[in-house]
Amino acid sequence: MAQILSSSILRIDLDAIRANYRSIAARVAPARAGAVVKANGYGLGAEQVAAALYREGCRTFFVARLVEADALAVMLGADVPIFILNGLDPGAESRCADAGHIPVLNSSTQVAAWRRLAVSRGTALPAALQLDTGMSRLGLSLAEAEPLSRDPAFAREIDLRLVMTHLACGDDPDHPANAAQLGAFTAGCGLFPDAPASIANSGGSFLPKGFHCAIVRPGVALFGVDPGPAAAGLRPVATLHARILQIREIGPGVGVGYGLDHVARGPQRLATIGIGYADGWPRNLGGVGRAWWDGVALPIVGRVSMDSLTIDISDPRAAALAEGDLVELIGPSQSLADVARDAGTIPYEVLTRLGSRHARIFVEDGQSQIAGDRI
């Protein structure tokens, strides 16, 4: 492989994403599996991820925003539906319709705006309708949706492609809210019996069959993150390595990093590596987290800087480490879930914050492709 001239390297295993999609699709069949690729494909690269999923047979995509849909549509072509989960920003209706995206109508205001555009264009416009079944985040209440279901003009103006809701506790199979939401959703779907229905995110895809409806909307599980206890066997997708920029030895009493938070108690061998909070490495891992090399834990000492952080490499098993070497931050020794736990957050946040400076290597069909110009 070409030498990579970058101080951090994010490797994305598209084969693993495809395998995870296959296993979810098999699990939910005969329901279909779409894919949620919002937030730049959970930080990993929406275009490459969506292209790989398309090759695996995925034909329905979900993003959060109009700009994300624009970027995907160029690549996927006009016949692949792209749903915009956050719905319509005021004034964006024409742009959305011209681009052929499918907005998820989340409020009565959005429904009214989309209907007005349909009337002015003299044609039905495609949309999904989100019902709020207990999460109180996005969607119409059943009381708001009910009059629409009785309005023949609504049926003429809106080409209803999906009725959907979202689970608040889908990652906890035993949570009573799941059954309560499914019950409310079933009643809501009864209002629009001809439209396909969708309730399940990743967590919901691992709940019983009743939650799978016509189509499931997995996101994080595609990227190898376990959405709950029932989801064994997903393949990890991302590894992250950073390069040693400099090695030094310090003696007792010497401080390290901003604020000199860490002060050596004895002789210490340190390595400063080229990754920081601007690269999405959580700042609160200062003094808490670790990097790894050849199975050896290398604790982070002092604060995490914007572009670098310092690790303790005094362990004799790490004696061979030299400037320019790569250490592991996410990989076989330290999972995304480990990092999230140490940082007091969830794998979703660690993934989606991975910045744009990493060299990205995409692996598909066993072949590596280096993205961008950082090689």
Ligand X SMILES: *Cc1c(COP(=O)(O)O)cnc(C)c1O
Pure H helices in the chain: 14-28, 38-42, 46-55, 66-76, 93-99, 108-121, 142-149, 152-157, 176-191, 202-205, 336-342, 347-353
Q: Has 21 been annotated as catalytic?
A: no
Name the minimum Å distance from CB 130 to ligand X.
Answer: 7
Binding letters toward ligand X, positions 42-81, x by CB under 6 A: ----------------------------------------
Tokens in use for 275? 């990754």
For residues 298 and 314, give the distance between their C-alpha atoms in angstroms, rounded to a whole number: 8
75 is in an annotated binding site: no
Of the candidates 220, 234, 318, 361, which one interacts with ligand X according to CB under 6 A?
A: 220
244/351 with CB nearer ligand X:
351
Q: Has 209 been annotated as catalytic?
A: no
Stretch touching ligand X by CB under 6 A, among 4-12, 218-226, 250-258, 262-270: 218-226
Cite the beta strand spans of the chain per DSSP E.
Answer: 8-13, 32-33, 35-36, 61-63, 82-84, 102-105, 125-130, 158-164, 197-198, 215-216, 238-250, 255-256, 262-263, 268-273, 290-293, 296-301, 309-312, 326-330, 359-364, 367-371
42/281 with CB nearer ligand X:
42
The 8-class DSSP code of residue 311 comes to E
Q: What does each C-alpha distance from 322 to 83, 244, 245, 248 come to in angstroms?
A: 48, 7, 9, 10
- Over the Cα atoms of the chain, what is R_g? 24
1 is in an annotated binding site: no
28/304 with CB nearer ligand X:
28
Q: Which residues contact 187 (CB under 8 A, 6 or more apart)?
A: 142
Of the candidates 43, 81, 87, 219, which one interacts with ligand X according to CB under 6 A?
A: 219
For residues 83 and 127, give the distance between their C-alpha atoms in angstroms, rounded to a whole number: 8
Q: Which one of 21, 42, 54, 258 is the catalytic residue?
A: 258
Coil vs helix vs strand at 66: helix
Residue 105 binds ligand X, judged by CB under 6 A = no
Stretch touching ligand X by CB under 6 A, among 153-161, 201-209, 271-279, 294-302: 201-209
| CA angle in degrees (0–180, nearest 5) for 116-120-122 | 115
Name the minimum Å distance from CB 85 to ligand X.
Answer: 5
Residue 201 binds ligand X, judged by CB under 6 A = yes
For residues 284 and 288, give the distance between their C-alpha atoms in angstroms, rounded to a whole number: 8
10/221 with CB nearer ligand X:
221
63/301 with CB nearer ligand X:
63
Closest CB to ligand X belongs to which residue? 219
Name the minimum Å distance from CB 92 to ligand X.
Answer: 18
Scan residues 18-47 and list those touching ligand X (CB under 6 A). Answer: 36, 38
Scan residues 145-174 and list those touching ligand X (CB under 6 A). Answer: 166
Q: Which one of 38, 42, 277, 348 is the catalytic residue?
A: 38
Residue 207 binds ligand X, judged by CB under 6 A = no
For residues 31 and 33, give the distance between their C-alpha atoms in angstroms, rounded to a whole number: 7
Stretch touching ligand X by CB under 6 A, among 8-16, 95-103, 200-208, 257-265: 200-208
Coil vs helix vs strand at 257: coil
Stretch touching ligand X by CB under 6 A, among 217-225, 252-260, 261-269, 280-288: 217-225
- Using alpha carbons, select from 2, 11, 1 the residue that is nearest to residue 241: 11
Q: How many residues bind ligand X (CB under 6 A)?
A: 13
For residues 330 and 8, give the distance between their C-alpha atoms in angstroms, rounded to a whole number: 11
Please enumerate, by residue number, every residue annotated as part of a binding site.
137, 306
Q: Which residues are annotated as a binding site for substrate?
A: 137, 306
| Residues designated as active site | 38, 258
Which positions touch ligand X (CB under 6 A)?
Answer: 36, 38, 85, 166, 201-203, 217-221, 227
